[in-house]
Amino acid sequence: MSHPRATFNKEHEDIVQKFSRLNKAADEIRKNYPTSGGILDPFDYYAVRTSALNLLARTAGKSSVYYRELRDMSPINPGTLAGILHAASTDFREGFMADTKLLVSAEVFADFLVQAEVLLEHDYKDAAAVIIRAVLEDGLRRVCLSKGIEVIARAGVDDLAQALTKENVLTALQKKEIDAKRELGNAAAHGRFSEFTTQDVVAFHEFVQRLLATLI
């Protein structure tokens, strides 16, 4: 089983690399703009802008200054595009973009997932499943709060996942995976331990670890 902290670190590096690729593309558009007579190639420009908006929605949230500046910038300007992206990527690398509460949550979730891993190694699948299910629900709830998404107090995994999917924080594929794993979590929460195996819980653990790494 891979260690949760290692997965969270890898996801951070993947995002840094994505920012780097977008920065290079935006810089290329900016450098070519004067030599093209001030005419933008709409394909390249909007491909970078759309990808950047998607990345910022996932990393900083739609209410963040980065997302709003890029979404609302007028007039269209390659220098503005490059400047916003560079500011966002620098703040992300230096830890100034992340929600402090979510950073703390990531540490807590990693610790709980390690506990679940230890329980699985000692054949305590039922206790491990209960912990993993709690981490999934609490993780989705905290992501909703960090993105300014309103959810009812007693919202469950399905409600939270639907809300995050509606706001494009979760992809359709991630939502489908959550749906597939939700029944195992519900069975664990209600003491129906005969409905799943140790291997089911191992897969559940790996899924939750991977999912939270993409969200936090």
What domains lie within the chain, and their CATH numbers?
A: 4-93 (no CATH), 100-215 (1.20.120)
Nearest to 158 by CA among 184, 134, 140, 135: 140
26-76, pLDDT tens digit by residue?
Answer: 999 998 887 766 677 889 999 999 999 998 887 777 778 888 899 998 777
What percent of the chain clears pLDDT 70, i.e. is strictly above it? 87
Q: Which helix (H) or strand (E) holds 177?
A: helix 172-189
Over residues 74-100, the pLDDT tens digits come to: 777 899 999 999 999 998 887 776 554
| Per-residue pLDDT at 207 exceeds 70 | yes
Question: Of 23-32, 89-98, 124-133, 159-168, which range is least confident?
Answer: 89-98
| Most distant CA atoms of the chain, gap in Å | 70
pLDDT score recorded for residue 89: 92
Percent of the chain scored above 90 by pLDDT?
Answer: 45
In which residue are the tokens 């993105």 written? 147
pLDDT at 20 (0 to 100): 95
pLDDT in the model for residue 62: 77
Mean pLDDT for the chain? 85
Identify the band that residue 3 occupies on the pLDDT scale cut at 50, 70 and 90: low
Question: Which positions ≥6 away from 90 have C-beta within 8 Å?
Answer: none
Cα–Cα distance, 41 to 33 (Å, whole number): 9
Burial annotation 137-151 (CB, 10 A radius, 16+ → b, else e)? bbbbbbbbebbebeb
Q: Of 48-57, 65-74, 145-154, 194-203, which range is least confident?
A: 145-154
Confidence bin at 174 (pLDDT 50/70/90): very high
Q: DSSP 3-state assignment of 38?
A: coil
Predicted confidence at residue 98, as pLDDT, reads 56
- pLDDT level of residue 128 (50, 70, 90 thresholds): very high
Quote the CA–CA distance of 132 and 115 in Å, as a whole number. 9
